[in-house]
Chains A and B, each alone.
Chain A
Amino acid sequence: MDSLLELRRRFTGDDKHLPSATSTMEVLWTLYDRVLHIDPDNPDDPDRDRFFLSKGHGPALFYSVLAAKGFIPAEWLDTAATVDSPLGHHPDRVLVPGAEMSAGSLGHGLPLAIGTALGLKAQGRLEPRVYVLLGDAELDEGSNHEAIAFAGAVGLDNLTVIVIDNQSASHGWAGGIASRFAVNGWTTSTVNGRDLDAIEAALTPLSRRPHAVTAIVEPKNA
Chain B
Amino acid sequence: MREAFVKTMTEILDEDPLSALVLADISAGAFGHVHSDRLINVGIREQLMVGVAGGLALTGLRPVVHTYAPFLVERAFEQVKLDFGHQGVTGVLVSVGASYDWTEGGFTHMSPRDVTLLDSIPGWTVHVPGHRDEVPALLRAAVASDDQVYIRLSTQENREAHPAGLHLVKSGWGGPLVVAVGPMLDRVLEATAGLDVSVAYAATARPLDTEALRELAYTNEVVLVEPYLAGTSAHLVSAALSDRPHRLLSLGVGREELRRYGTPADHDRLHGLTAEGIRASLDAFTAQRVNS
A: residues with CB less than 8 A from B are 46, 50, 92-94, 100-102, 105, 107-108, 110-123, 125, 142-143, 146-147, 149-150, 153
* Contact residues in B for A115 (Cβ distance below 8 Å): 22, 51-59, 63
In the complex, which residue of chain A has the Cβ closest to the Cβ of B38?
Answer: A122
In the complex, which residue of chain B has the Cβ closest to the Cβ of A121?
Answer: B37
Partner of B47, one of A100, A121, A142, A153: A142
**Residues A118 and B82 in contact, CB atoms below 8 Å apart:** no
**Closest approach, in angstroms, between the C-beta of A127 and any C-beta of chain B?**
13
**Closest approach, in angstroms, between the C-beta of B164 and any C-beta of chain A?**
30
In the complex, which residue of chain A has the Cβ closest to the Cβ of B48?
Answer: A146
Instruction: Report if A114-B86 is in contact (Cβ < 8 Å); known contacts: A120-B59, A146-B45.
Output: no
Q: How far, in angstroms, from A113 to B56 measured CA to CA in the complex?
A: 9
Q: How many chain-B residues does the 8 Å CB contact rule pick out?
A: 30
In the complex, which residue of chain A has the Cβ closest to the Cβ of B17?
Answer: A123
Q: How far, in angstroms, from A116 to B59 measured CA to CA in the complex?
A: 6
In the complex, which residue of chain A has the Cβ closest to the Cβ of B52?
Answer: A115
The total number of A-B Cβ pairs within 8 Å is 104
Main secondary structure on chain A at its contact with chain B? helix
B: residues with CB less than 8 A from A are 20, 22, 37-38, 40, 42-43, 45, 47-48, 50-61, 63, 78-79, 82-83, 86-88
Please list the 5 inter-chain residue pairs (A to B) with the smallest Cβ-Cβ separation, ordered nearest first: A115-B55, A111-B51, A119-B59, A115-B52, A146-B45
**Closest approach, in angstroms, between the C-beta of B216 and any C-beta of chain A?**
39
**Residues B55 and A112 in contact, CB atoms below 8 Å apart:** yes
Q: How far, in angstroms, from A157 to B61 measured CA to CA in the complex?
A: 20
* Contact residues in B for A147 (Cβ distance below 8 Å): 45, 48, 51
**Residues A111 and B54 in contact, CB atoms below 8 Å apart:** yes
Given A115-B55, A116-B58, A150-B48, 12 other A-B residues pairs in contact with their CB atoms under 8 A: A101-B58, A101-B87, A115-B53, A115-B56, A115-B58, A118-B37, A118-B55, A119-B20, A122-B37, A122-B38, A123-B59, A149-B45
In the complex, which residue of chain B has the Cβ closest to the Cβ of A116?
Answer: B55
